[in-house]
Amino acid sequence: MRKLLIAVLGVAVLAGPARALPDDAYVRLNEAAITQHVQPRYQAFASAVTALRSATEVFCKAPAAAGLPALQQAYRDAAGAWQDIQHVRFGPVELFFRSQRIAFWPDSRNTITRQMGDLLAKRDVAAVQPERLARGSVAVQGLPVLERLFFVEDAAKLTAGDAEAAFRCRYAEAVAANLETIARETADEWTHVPADGQDMSLDLFKSLYTAVELIADHKLARPLGASAAQARPRLAEAWRSESSLSHIRHNLAAALHLYQVAFRPVLPDTGLNESIQRGFDRSIAAADAIKSPLEEAIADPSLRPAVETLAAEVLALKNLLVQKLPPALDLPLGFNALDGD
């Protein structure tokens, strides 16, 4: 207990004294975040998912290898749009497990592969109706399911012209339709969320922190391993579509945008703002310096140092945000405030 108290006091010293903001600052922060960041990005995600559903239906009317690239690009566009808003996990998206149903990840127990395998083996048409999917396991609906259906060796199974191919297409169409419903409902409901005071500002800080924390602790640390020989490329978020690095770039850009439109205008500490901006700039530059897919770079001794640099920069940014920003904005970040994010 004594060690814990010393550690907490140490963080408090690093963070400096809390500086209260006027009440209207929290409202301004929240309104800017909702109108300039959250609502537009959920709308963009809903539009991308609608395009994905359309592309899936077009492909499945005449499945052919020549049609796969367009289908795969529609998936990448929708997945990228989700990465742009994935960090906002409160409000309408937390209702009915929407966030997990959109993208159940990380999947540490490989539940998606197991449950998908069982569903595909049974070929139960009733099980892949959009309404039934919506009530079922989060592991058999959402973007990770479509990535498995559309990429690597499974992609060819969509164009085989047999009963399995037909079922896989029916399944993909149902998943895309279900995603469209979730995305539209979430986007519509965000138009009615009030910009309340400090509590919402704290939720928005947690969203900002979550974007960076997911990169540092999951999207990089899990596949990176201790060395190139111990790298685990298949623990990367989107190794099948080789989109893992693209997702990280989306996440960093989204977090920076949220910080700039909502937090920076009310932050009284200009020195801290410069430090945070510099942390984002360094992290984004490090991500842009990686020229190969993440799955390849982490296992190649000549490419890996660039990924390790990115990991170090994002970890530094994560620590800066959690130690410095809440006290500067007088946000009550307790011991368990970030649990589950």
Q: How many CA atoms lie within 13 A of 207 on its CB side?
A: 30
| H or E element in which residue 323 lies | helix 304-328
Residues 217 and 235 reside in one and the same domain: yes
Residues 52 and 100 reside in one and the same domain: yes
| 148 occurs within a structural domain | yes
Q: Which of 338, 341, 335 is nearest to 7 (CA)?
A: 335
The count of structural domains within the chain is 2
| 27 occurs within a structural domain | no
Determine which of 75-79, 127-131, 139-143 has the lowest per-residue pLDDT on average: 127-131
Predicted confidence (pLDDT) at residue 188 exceeds the cutoff of 60: yes
Predicted confidence (pLDDT) at residue 17 exceeds the cutoff of 80: no
| Domain end position, chosen among 129, 155, 190 | 190
SS3 state of residue 288:
helix
Residues 42 and 184 reside in one and the same domain: yes
The greatest distance separating any two alpha carbons of the chain, rounded to the nearest whole angstrom, comes to 68
| 28 occurs within a structural domain | no
| H or E element in which residue 210 lies | helix 198-214
Q: Is the peptide bond before 106 cis (omega within 30 degrees of 0)?
A: yes
Predicted TM-score (pTM) of this structure? 0.92
| Domain end position, chosen among 190, 220, 235 | 190
Residues 78 and 144 reside in one and the same domain: yes
Residues 158 and 173 reside in one and the same domain: yes
- Name the residue with higher pLDDT: 2 or 294: 294
| 273 occurs within a structural domain | yes
| Domain end position, chosen among 157, 190, 223 | 190
Identity of the amino acid at 303: L
Predicted confidence (pLDDT) at residue 340 exceeds the cutoff of 90: no
Q: Domain of residue 118: give its range.
A: 37-190
Residues 260 and 120 reside in one and the same domain: no
* CA pair distance 127, 117, nearest whole angstrom: 13
Residues 300/292, Cβ–Cβ less than 8 Å: yes
Residues 218 and 298 reside in one and the same domain: yes
Percentage, residues of the chain above pLDDT 90 = 89
* CA pair distance 152, 118, nearest whole angstrom: 19
Residues 180 and 265 reside in one and the same domain: no
Mean pLDDT on 127-138:
93
* CA pair distance 119, 128, nearest whole angstrom: 9
pLDDT at 23: 81
Render pLDDT for 301-335 as a digit per residue (tens, 0 to 9): 999 999 999 999 999 999 999 999 999 999 988 64
| 5 occurs within a structural domain | no
Residues 172 and 296 reside in one and the same domain: no
* CA–CA distances in Å: residue 229 to residues 115, 233, 298: 30, 11, 9
Residues 130 and 228 reside in one and the same domain: no
How far the first Cα of the chain sits from its last, in Å, is 25
| 210 occurs within a structural domain | yes
Residues 220 and 121 reside in one and the same domain: no
Mean pLDDT on 233-250:
97
| 115 occurs within a structural domain | yes
Q: 124: which 2 tokens? A: 């139960």
